[in-house]
Amino acid sequence: MLTESRVRLEAKEGRGEVIRAYCEEAQRTRLLSPGAASKLRGLIQYFATSVQGQVAKGGLQPLTMQSTGNSSCVSPVLHDALSYIAAVTLFAPARNVPLDGKRKQIAAWSDAEYDPCQPSLGGGVGYMVRSEGATIGAAARVPPDVIALLLPRAQQIGQLEALFHWWP
């Protein structure tokens, strides 16, 4: 949609509901065939790329593994990834992109780290914003009990960044 020199990037009407329905059905039945996993991965990949950015891609690795594997059983890791994907489609806002050139340009980075060999340290997340020669940064340490709620190592970095992105 284009209004007042702005583009609002949002999912096609009903797309989030379709993605959540796939996730809920797979969680309920504990079954997701490789073909269905591939289809869901395609839906969320487009949704993440066009609307939500990297935050929405946090649960894709287990889907990729399911789509290339031989099993239709939903593992605990895949179950949690489906919960994450459903939450992102429900809570992450659409993006508004101004086209009039009146907004100042900024560069922003986020990063997260977690060392599974030292779980008592928790995980770290942070961001840096650079605008007009000034750099603003923030960082936080995520407690180990919160880290324990996230998926295994392969997915924790993306989820830590998402957590920081939505932190109040």
Residues 19 and 50 in one domain: yes
pLDDT of residue 16: 84
The token pair that represents 6 in the structure block? 């702005």
What is the average pLDDT across 67-72?
92
Residues 111 and 90 in one domain: no
Query: Helical H runs in the chain?
Result: 15-29, 34-47, 60-68, 76-91, 144-147, 153-166
* pLDDT of 116 higher than 50: yes
Residues 89 and 112 in one domain: no
The token pair that represents 49 in the structure block? 């790329």
pLDDT of residue 22: 94
Distances (CA, A) of 9 to 13, 29, 40, 43, 49: 12, 33, 20, 15, 10
Residues 113 and 146 in one domain: yes
Residues 90 and 141 in one domain: no
pLDDT of residue 10: 72
pLDDT tens, 132-160?
Answer: 666 666 666 666 666 666 655 555 556 56
In the block, tokens 């950015």 appear at: 53
Residues 116 and 161 in one domain: yes
Residues 47 and 80 in one domain: yes
Quick one: pLDDT band at residue 104, thresholds 50, 70, 90?
Answer: low
**Burial (Cβ within 10 Å: 0-12, 13-18, ≥19) of residue 60:** buried
Residues 131 and 80 in one domain: no
Domain that holds residue 133: 104-166
CB 55 within 8 A of CB 44: no
Residues 145 and 76 in one domain: no
Quick one: pLDDT band at residue 81, thresholds 50, 70, 90?
Answer: confident
Quick one: pLDDT band at residue 168, thresholds 50, 70, 90?
Answer: very low
Tell me the C-alpha distance between 27 and 43, whole Å: 17
pLDDT of residue 20: 92
For residue 16, count other CB atoms closer than 10 A to its CB: 20
Residues 37 and 9 in one domain: yes
Domain boundary among 96, 122, 139: 96
Domain boundary among 76, 96, 116: 96
Q: Residues of the chain with pLDDT > 70: what percent?
A: 44
Report the range of poorest mean pLDDT among 76-85, 89-98, 123-132. 123-132
Total domains, the chain = 2
